[in-house]
Amino acid sequence: MTFSATFRSAAALALMTAAMTGCSAFEPEYTACPSIKAVEGAENVATKGTILGQDIAVRLNGVAAKCVATSSGHDLELEVGLLARRDMSSSAKTEEMKIDITLAYLDKDDNPVGRDVSSFKAYFNEFNAKSRPTFVISTEIPAGTRVIMGLGKLKDGE
| Angle (CA) 43 140 113, round 5° | 70
- The model carries a pTM of 0.79
- Residue 4: in which H helix or E strand, if any? helix 3-24
Domains of the chain: 29-151 (2.60.40)
* Cβ–Cβ < 8 Å for 75, 67: yes
Q: Each residue's pLDDT tens digit in the chain (158 positions)? A: 555 555 566 555 556 665 555 555 677 899 999 999 999 999 999 999 999 999 999 999 999 999 999 999 999 999 999 999 999 999 999 999 999 999 999 999 999 999 999 999 999 999 999 999 999 999 999 999 999 999 998 765 55
Give the separation between CA 120 and CA 131, rounded to whole angstroms: 14
